[in-house]
């Protein structure tokens, strides 16, 4: 069975052909094609509205908008205008963004008085789902924002992990793996947001139940620039209550190969995996942290629990 395309149905939200809104010297010189094609071939009206009529959506999963990213987009808008209209829904007091908050912010930097919008009808679940899809397609979300978006779909809208995975075009393991990041201490989540700690490191640190130990491990990983394998050794020692320094590493080539295999196994099963290898022999340790997780791993391996 082929994997569903990421963002199936996103064309209904963002499928319009490019419509350019260039900065204009005066309203008289500001022209725009009046319509845009929708996914089903119908035509939708592109409206010019004052930028301050538009408000960010509280359901938007993306929270971090680096200033340099906004400045880059602003430079493009100065040159080419807003190529893609913003997608909004009408609320009692304003037009609420469904997609295009980055463009909306950049328009303010440029000084545009109006922005192009297409008004759609969408409930809260649809808004969150489509905002997630748009950002995932464009790789705009950091891992914590992605996890929080999935968590909203599960908690606020009572979707199962399987339903979330299907709707956003991800595997269930990828969704489960992302959600596990929210078990981390908030200070560690911030390190992941800032890309100071990788998702691979974070998953290993999740092997520690004590939040204080998690923080201790994360701080040391950042301070000493430990790789994932070294982090696993550190976590093991913390679990054993031992302050020993890391054991002597394998030869660099072997160590790198083992680490890559561990990463692939970890992504496949969605939990901590340790590969022990020496001269063609070894073992694979797969960790689980609940009966449900064990059942999921068994299903992945094709083993039926008696």
Residue positions annotated with a catalytic role: 101
> What sign does the dihedral 228-229-233-235 (CA atoms) show?
positive
CA distances from 277 to 38, 47, 258, 262, 287 (A): 55, 62, 7, 11, 17
Other Cβ atoms within 10 Å of 249 Cβ, number: 12
Residue 210 phi, psi dihedral angles, 5° rounding: -80, 120
Question: Residue 134 corresponds to which tokens in the numbers above?
Answer: 């748009």
Distance separating alpha carbons of residues 100 and 80, to the nearest angstrom: 16
Produce one character per residue of 85-101: b if its CB has 16 or more CB atoms within 10 Å, e if not: bbbbbeeeeebbbbbbb
Question: Residue 56 corresponds to which tokens in the numbers above?
Answer: 């960010």
């Amino acid at each position: 069975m082929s994997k569903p395309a990421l963002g199936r149905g996103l064309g209904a939200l963002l499928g319009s052909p490019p419509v350019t809104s260039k900065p204009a010297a005066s309203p008289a010189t500001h022209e725009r094609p009046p319509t845009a094609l929708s996914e089903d071939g119908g035509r939708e009206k592109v409206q010019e509205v004052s930028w301050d009529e538009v408000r960010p959506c509280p359901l938007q999963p993306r929270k971090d908008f680096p200033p340099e990213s906004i400045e880059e987009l602003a430079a493009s808008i100065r040159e080419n205008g807003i190529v893609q209209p913003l997608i909004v829904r009408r609320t009692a007091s304003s037009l609420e963004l469904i997609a295009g908050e980055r463009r909306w912010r950049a328009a303010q930097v440029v000084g545009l008085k109006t922005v192009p919008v297409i008004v759609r009808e969408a409930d809260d679940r649809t808004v969150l789902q489509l905002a997630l899809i748009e950002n995932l397609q464009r790789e705009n979300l950091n891992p914590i924002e992605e996890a929080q978006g999935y968590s909203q779909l599960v908690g606020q809208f009572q979707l199962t992990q399987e339903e979330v995975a299907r709707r956003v075009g991800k595997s269930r393991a990828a969704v489960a793996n992302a959600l596990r990041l929210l078990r981390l201490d908030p200070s560690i989540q911030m390190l992941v947001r800032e890309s100071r700690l990788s998702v691979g490191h974070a998953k290993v640190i999740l092997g520690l139940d004590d939040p204080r130990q998690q923080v201790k491990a994360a701080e040391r990983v950042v301070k000493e620039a430990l790789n994932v394998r070294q982090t696993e050794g550190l976590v093991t020692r913390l679990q054993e209550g031992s302050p020993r320094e890391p054991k002597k590493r394998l030869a660099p080539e072997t160590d790198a190969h083992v680490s890559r295999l561990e990463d692939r196994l970890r992504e496949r099963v969605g939990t901590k995996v340790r590969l022990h290898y020496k001269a063609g022999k070894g073992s694979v340790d797969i960790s689980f942290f609940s009966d449900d997780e064990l059942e999921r791993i068994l299903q992945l391996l094709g083993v039926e629990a008696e």
